Amino acid sequence: MTKSCGATQPGADRFSYPSRDEILAAIREQKSLFDFERDVPPSLRADRDIVLAAFADATIEFRHVPTTLHSDREVMLAAAKCGFGGNLEALPDVWKDDAAFVTELMRDKPGCFEHASERVRSLREVALAAVATVGKGVVEWDNLRHVPPPLNRDRELLTTALRGHLQAYVHVPEDLRADPELLALAAEHSKGNSLVFEAMPASARDDREIVLKMVSRDGGGFEHASERLRDDKELLLVALAGRGRVLQYASARLRADPEVARVVAASKDCSAAFAYLDPAVRSAPDMVAQALANHADLKDFSEALRDDEATVRIAVAAWGRNYEAASDRLKAVREIALLAAQDHTRGITWGFDLSWAPESLRADKEIARNAVLSEDSNAKHLPQVLLQDHAFLRELVAANDRVLEHLPAEAARAVALARIVTGAHHGRRIVAAAVPATGSVYDNQRKVETLTVEDPSGSTLRVTSMPVLTYEKDGPVGSYLSVRYVVNVVLCGAFVFLVEENTGDKTSTYRWAVDRTSEEEAIRTHLWHHVYLVPWSGADGSVTDSFDSLRGRSLLLYEGRTARLPIGVSAFPGWNGYTEAMSLLGGSAPRQSKYATTGPRELTIAAAEAHEVGGAARVYVQGEGEGRSVWRWLIPHAEGPRAALAILGRTTHADDWRWLQGQVEGATPAQRGLLATHFAGVGR
Amino acid sequence: MWAVESRGPRGLRARLIGAGHAHVSPWWPTEGGFFLSFPVSRAQLGPEASALARRLEALRLPGSVFLRGSVVESSVPFAGSDVDVLLLSDGDFRSSAFDGLSARMLDLKPLTRKRLRRDLVQHALVAHRALRVSGPDPALEPAACDEEFAWRHWLAYFPAGLPARIDSSDRYALYHFKCAARSFGVLSLLRDGRYTRDVDACMDFADAISPDAAHTLRRLRATLERGEGAEFSLDQVRAELLRLHRGLT
């Protein structure tokens, strides 16, 4: 509706209004995208056909319907049918008081009965139609509640409502709720409905036949039965068949009844009911074993039984968790602890907890192994002597690598470090060491334990606590959508770089930063890449440093929004390098991957083609003034990277070329192409 | 019997996850090995989405603007859902331009063509699961329904990176739940050639191939929707996802 949009804006007189036919065609075409208020010129807003078409297909609010149409029945019906429950509420009162109108509307919108006038809601035919519509559509309209007295006492109306809506009984006037016919209908149609049962008069809740019907579905409502009937064994047994927890509402007599106790003990819902039995019947010799087999909790048995070896053996054999309730004397029995620890053979988790066992038994390998296989979190309770037994830990990890989550970091590293190894580049390679299957994000980062550059001289640069993925603080941390940096150590020529590659994503943190500060500041803070030259060469010997410390003493080469990054060899190239490596170590095996699995916990990745020639790395350096920020070649220097960078600052492209000329003969075709491209456009 | 330790209710919350009243199949349609374009037109939008589309159009933003998620996939977006707006533009924009656009929280995702070229997951969302409401048709290449697609999505949901345990009151719990659930959508693609990222459809598939994992995720979901705090063990879900993936690749 270009024309009409223009017509409603300043300067509209330059446009012609759309015609009536154009409006009608636009409604048919655009349907809900058509906005009556925006798209219909004032002169046509009272047009009956347009208003009707808008209610049928487009977006129109009732307040935009001109009053001249408020008396038009067809228009008002169309208006009242809008929305899920109808829109009778918005119409003039005259329509709310029109019985025929309301009745017709209720065929489509039964919920509109609520907004009819009291006079109309008091008309028997209308009210009957309203309660007869129950159960139709998505929502069951509980219209009985809106029928005013005295009509809400009409027998036909009430029985119709009770046959329909599950909870209609709660709106039956209180003095009629004891009516036998109504009660019978409610009991028949509202079985197990606690609200309905609670609304019944005390006499009904003391009526055995009604109570039997109410609890027969699943035991629900038993708590609302009279005190007398909560002492009725047959009723209780019916309810217990549905749900064990109803035992708590039974009389004290029944909770002490041996037959009830036997039923509970044999019930699959025994664990929910057993604790409500009277202590005197819980320990009956003929049912103890059965109750325990059905997962009754040993803590609900007498102290004597918890110190009875035969009983405790049965209990822990059913569920290792029962070990906790055994007497200290029996907890110290190795066979009992071992039996309890074997929940994994019973398909049970959340059972035996190794911390309940005395220290001497926690160091028992067979008990510890079973405990960890049953529940991997038991690994956190392994005593020091077992944590130092790496062969034992490897055995556990081989059986269930989730135990890594629960081992102290040192122990996990000792037994389960995986390696990601790059191909060699100028004799150097990168070895990243990580504990897979730990899956956790700390300080908004996913880290590897160490990342080591191995130099052919034998010396190493070891970076500890190396963050590979850094997430935005306010995004869904762990989501690929909120990765801010992918951090890599990059080998390029004779040099080592730290590269913080920015995803460039404008996450919500970025947006809020824009609102708080300037756009430029937000870009600098959130969208810049950072490239550092690491001041290390193989001749410097072996060095170990944390990532933060190493970055702090490295030389900033470049920071900016454009990705002017050195191209070289890294352990986690691309946005998915880390997730791909960890997924492979987790056992995924896609047909194609840049990583190859070369051992049970080892991946290798081929050395990528680096942008270097003869050890000189192509880097973007930033300098003061016009034309000082350019791509240059960092030429290897005998005194190391600092000296190389210092010389770069004093030389020109011509100097770069003079050095590189000597390397052309041994260069690959790709490197020659790189040189040609570089020097064809030096300075850009 | 996987453990959950309830810390008590904090009152009912609106339904948070999944789209009620969906008027489009959650399964991405394909033809000839490629995904088809989003099967919803502007004419099918509900009143709320229509109004939002009009307001976005009126902003006359540079580039192409897309709506996606429950606001366009459901005739009645579920309560509490945010509105996902994708902005495909090489220019910058200011988020203040969107102030007052919707009573719901707007989740703005600016994208560039360059980003789409290297990110198959985002590319697929824009090309196949988003409705353009303003700007030119970017004429994106259709994504192939193949192993590469499955692998890229597997890496995006990164089930190997799921935490072993999670507290449902943790602010990232919903994200981890969605990742775990949507990983089943990838498994469905690998097994049956049908892809979805709809949480309900993913959970239905999970029910069929891994009832235990599905049970744990459903309990986590229910706890999230009720706004309760409870600790869940996800390590078995993670192990199960990785095991199933191994079996399908």
Residues B88 and B108 in one domain: yes
A511 interaction partners in chain B (CB closer than 8 Å) = 95, 108
- d(CA B205, CA B212) in angstroms, rounded, equals 12
Mean pLDDT of B158-166: 85
Instruction: Tell me if A535 sits within 8 A of A522, measured CB to CB.
Output: no
Q: Which of B35, B198, B25, B53 is nearest to B132 (CA)?
A: B53
Mutate to test the interface with A, among B172, B174, B186 (most CBs of A within 10 A): B172
**Terminal-to-terminal C-alpha distance of chain A:** 48
Category of B101 on φ-ψ map: left (φ > 0), alpha (ψ -120 to 50) or beta: alpha
Q: Enumerate residues 6+ apart whose C-beta is below 8 A from A582.
A: A434, A436, B158, B160, B161
Residues 173-232 on B with a CB inside 8 Å of A are 174-176, 179
* Max Cα–Cα distance, chain A, nearest Å: 109
Q: Tell me if residue A465 falls in helix, strand or coil.
A: strand
Report which of residues A168 and B180 the model is more confident about.
B180
Of the candidates A84, A574, A586, the beta carbon closest to that of B160 is on A586
| A to B CB pairs, distance under 8 Å | 141
Which pLDDT score, from 0 to 100, does residue A382 have? Answer: 95
Type and span of the H or E element at A680: helix A669-680
Which pLDDT score, from 0 to 100, does residue A17 have? Answer: 61
Mean pLDDT of A255-268: 91
Residue B5 belongs to a domain? no
Of the candidates B3, B112, B118, the beta carbon closest to that of A350 is on B3
Mean pLDDT of B162-185: 87
Q: Which residue pairs, CB below 8 angstroms and at least 24 apart, start in A628-631?
A: A630/A682, A630/A683, A630/A684, A631/A564, A631/A678, A631/A682, A631/A683, A631/A684
Residues B121 and B35 in one domain: yes
Residues B118 and B179 in one domain: no
Q: Cα-flanking dihedrals φ and ψ of residue B66, to 5°? A: -125, 150
Looking at mean pLDDT, say which of A21-35, A128-142, A464-478, B112-126 comes out highest: B112-126
Residue B189 domain boundaries: 146-248
Which pLDDT score, from 0 to 100, does residue B247 have? Answer: 86
Report which of residues A329 and A11 the model is more confident about.
A329
Compute the residue count for chain B.
249
Which pLDDT score, from 0 to 100, does residue A672 have? Answer: 93
Q: Which of A359, A351, A300, A358 is nearest to A329 (CA)?
A: A358
- d(CA A54, CA A60) in angstroms, rounded, equals 6
Residues B120 and B164 in one domain: no
* pLDDT for residue A12 is more than 50: no
Compute the residue count for chain A.
684
Q: Enumerate residues 6+ apart whose C-beta is below 8 A from A112.
A: A80, A85, A86, A87, A88, A102, A105, A106
- Give the tokens for residue B219: 């309990």
CA–CA min distance B88, chain A (Å): 12
Residues B104 and B166 in one domain: no
Q: CA A442 → CA A210, A409, A468, A473, B199, distances in Å? A: 60, 13, 12, 11, 27
Q: Which of A477, A398, A401, A471 is nearest to A436 (CA)?
A: A401
Which pLDDT score, from 0 to 100, does residue A579 have? Answer: 92
Q: Enumerate residues 6+ apart whose C-beta is below 8 A from A665.
A: none
Which pLDDT score, from 0 to 100, does residue B17 have? Answer: 46
Residues B174 and B95 in one domain: no
> Cβ of B172 and A437 within 8 Å?
no
Mean pLDDT of B10-24: 43
Which pLDDT score, from 0 to 100, does residue A9 have? Answer: 36
Mean pLDDT of A396-423: 84
Of the candidates B1, B46, B249, the beta carbon closest to that of A589 is on B249
Type and span of the H or E element at A142: none
- Cβ of B43 under 8 Å from any chain A Cβ? yes
Residue B3 belongs to a domain? no
Q: CA quadruple A176, A181, A185, A187: dihedral positive or negative?
A: positive
The last residue of a domain, from among B106, B134, B162:
B134
Q: Any bridge partners for residue B5, and if so which?
A: B231
- d(CA A439, CA B172) in angstroms, rounded, equals 14
Mean pLDDT of A252-280: 90
B163 interaction partners in chain A (CB closer than 8 Å) = 439-441, 478
Burial of A682 (0-12, 13-18, 19+ CB in 10 A): middle
- d(CA A516, CA A658) in angstroms, rounded, equals 50
Which pLDDT score, from 0 to 100, does residue B16 have? Answer: 42
Q: Enumerate residues 6+ apart whose C-beta is below 8 A from A374.
A: A320, A341, A342, A343, A344, A348, A349, A351, A352
- Cβ of B160 under 8 Å from any chain A Cβ? yes
CA A97: distance to chain centroid? Answer: 50
* pLDDT for residue B1 is more than 50: no
The three-state (H, E, C) secondary structure of B50-71, written as one string: HHHHHHHHHCCCCCEEEEECHH
State the pTM of this model.
Answer: 0.61
Which pLDDT score, from 0 to 100, does residue A164 have? Answer: 76
Residues B74 and B130 in one domain: yes
Mutate to test the interface with B, among A61, A348, A479 (most CBs of B within 10 A): A479
Least confident of A113-122, A506-515, A569-578, A648-657: A506-515
* pLDDT for residue A235 is more than 90: yes
Residue B152 belongs to a domain? yes
Which pLDDT score, from 0 to 100, does residue B95 have? Answer: 61
- Give the tokens for residue A23: 């409006």
The last residue of a domain, from among B80, B101, B134:
B134
Residue B2 belongs to a domain? no
- d(CA B139, CA B127) in angstroms, rounded, equals 8
- d(CA A576, CA A579) in angstroms, rounded, equals 5
Mean pLDDT of A332-361: 89
Residues B49 and B117 in one domain: yes
Instruction: Tell me if A535 sits within 8 A of A456, measured CB to CB.
Output: no
Q: Any bridge partners for residue A604, and if so which?
A: A421, A596
Say if residue A150 is preceded by a cis peptide, omega within 30 of 0.
Answer: yes
How large is the angle between the packed helices A390-399 and A365-374, nearest 10 degrees?
A: 30
Nearest residue in A to B160, CA atom: A583
Residues 75-114 on B with a CB inside 8 Å of A are 76, 92, 94-96, 107-110, 112
* pLDDT for residue B8 is more than 50: no
- At A454, the amino acid letter reads E
Q: What percent of chain A has pLDDT over 90?
A: 55
Q: Any bridge partners for residue A433, and if so which?
A: A419, A450
Looking at mean pLDDT, say which of A8-17, A180-189, B187-196, B228-237 comes out highest: B187-196
Q: CA B41 → CA A32, A33, A100, A429, B126, distances in Å? A: 11, 11, 38, 53, 14
Q: Cα-flanking dihedrals φ and ψ of residue A582, to 5°? A: -70, -30
Which pLDDT score, from 0 to 100, does residue A13 have? Answer: 34
Of the candidates B2, B148, B164, the beta carbon closest to that of A439 is on B164
Which pLDDT score, from 0 to 100, does residue A480 have? Answer: 66
A376 interaction partners in chain B (CB closer than 8 Å) = 235
B243 interaction partners in chain A (CB closer than 8 Å) = 587
Residue B158 belongs to a domain? yes
Report which of residues A618 and A345 the model is more confident about.
A618
Residue B17 belongs to a domain? no
* pLDDT for residue A561 is more than 90: no
Which pLDDT score, from 0 to 100, does residue B14 have? Answer: 33
Q: For residue A492, name the pLDDT band (cuts at 50, 70, 90).
A: very high
Domain-wise residue ranges, chain A? 417-610, 631-684
Give the residue carrying structure tokens 């945010």. Answer: B82
Least confident of A27-36, A336-345, B82-91: A27-36
Per the structure, the count of domains in chain B is 2
Segments in A40-132 forming alpha helices (H): 48-57, 73-80, 93-96, 99-108, 118-121, 124-132
- At A475, the amino acid letter reads G
Mutate to test the interface with A, among B85, B151, B197, B249 (most CBs of A within 10 A): B151
Mean pLDDT of A71-91: 86
Mean pLDDT of A246-274: 91
Which pLDDT score, from 0 to 100, does residue A308 have? Answer: 95
What string of DSSP letters covers A9-36?
Answer: STTGGGSPPPPHHHHHHHHHHHGGG-BH
Residue B10 belongs to a domain? no
> Cβ of B245 and A587 within 8 Å?
yes
- At A297, the amino acid letter reads D
Q: For residue B56, name the pLDDT band (cuts at 50, 70, 90).
A: confident
How large is the angle between the packed helices A233-242 and A258-266, nearest 10 degrees?
A: 10
> Cβ of B245 and A402 within 8 Å?
no
* pLDDT for residue B75 is more than 50: yes
| HSE, side-chain direction, 13 A CA sphere, residue A627 | 5
DSSP state of A485: E
Mean pLDDT of A627-651: 92
Residues B92 and B61 in one domain: yes
What string of DSSP letters covers A339-399?
Answer: HHGGGGGGT--S---GGGS-HHHHT-HHHHHHHHHH-GGGGGG--HHHHT-HHHHHHHHHH
A349 interaction partners in chain B (CB closer than 8 Å) = 1-3, 233, 236
**Terminal-to-terminal C-alpha distance of chain B:** 29
Nearest residue in A to B246, CA atom: A588
Least confident of A188-202, A451-465, A659-673, B124-138: A188-202
B151 interaction partners in chain A (CB closer than 8 Å) = 590, 592
CA A295: distance to chain centroid? Answer: 32
